[in-house]
């Protein structure tokens, strides 16, 4: 795809923190520099809003990290994970934890679609394919910024632009 960036584009950035964190950890054994992601993907364009979506982890103090994200310029959205317990056929107790921000990210992106020219979804999750298509019908250019190795092929294919975060080099990691 041809990369066309216009300085007057109004941009909103939606960062799936867990998706990027685990992608960087599992693929590169590194931590993500979320400040660098914000400014490298934005470029010289106009930032309307930057969201960081985070799941509260049990037993983990995330206050410092959340404060850092806010200081950088993100509006932080936090969610408690849902814990489901069930018994299997043998009577064994199973615990399942469900914690994702797919609907929250979609709602925020749709709500801002009239006020932006570009939505940057910083995730590799293929579940966002339909959101990308919907935003495009509203005239919003959709860029996906993620690690190519862990990004769903269908998400790359539907995006107006795919930004492989590794092209930013070491700046993208801490």
Which pLDDT value is given to residue 17?
94
Is residue 98 domain-resident?
Answer: yes
**What does the block give as tokens for 42?**
């934005």
Is residue 1 domain-resident?
Answer: no
Is residue 159 domain-resident?
Answer: yes
CATH number for the domain harbouring residue 138 = 3.40.50.1010
Compute CA distances 1 → 113, 128, 156, 157, whole Å.
Answer: 22, 19, 10, 10
Domain extent for 59? 10-172
Number of structural domains in the chain: 1
Is residue 128 domain-resident?
Answer: yes
Is residue 5 domain-resident?
Answer: no
Q: Read off the pLDDT of each residue in 135-143 and give the average, rounded to a whole number.
A: 98
Q: Read off the pLDDT of each residue in 93-113 and give the average, rounded to a whole number.
A: 88
Which pLDDT value is given to residue 138?
97
């Amino acid at each position: 795809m041809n990369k066309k960036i216009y300085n007057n584009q109004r941009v909103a950035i939606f960062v799936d923190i867990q998706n990027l964190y685990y992608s960087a950890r599992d693929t590169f054994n590194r931590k993500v520099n979320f400040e660098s992601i914000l400014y490298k993907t934005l470029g010289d364009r106009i930032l309307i809003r930057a969201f960081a979506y985070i799941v509260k982890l049990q037993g983990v103090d995330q206050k410092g990290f959340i404060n850092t994200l806010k200081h950088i310029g993100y509006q932080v959205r936090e969610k408690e994970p849902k814990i489901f317990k069930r018994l299997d056929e043998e009577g064994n107790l199973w615990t399942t934890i469900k914690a994702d921000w797919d609907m929250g990210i979609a709602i925020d992106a749709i709500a801002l679609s009239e006020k932006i020219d570009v939505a940057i979804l910083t995730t590799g999750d293929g579940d966002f394919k339909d959101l990308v298509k919907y935003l495009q019908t509203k005239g919003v250019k959709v860029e996906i910024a993620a690690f190519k190795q862990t990004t769903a092929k269908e998400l790359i294919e539907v995006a107006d632009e795919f930004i492989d975060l590794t092209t930013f080099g070491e700046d993208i990691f801490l």
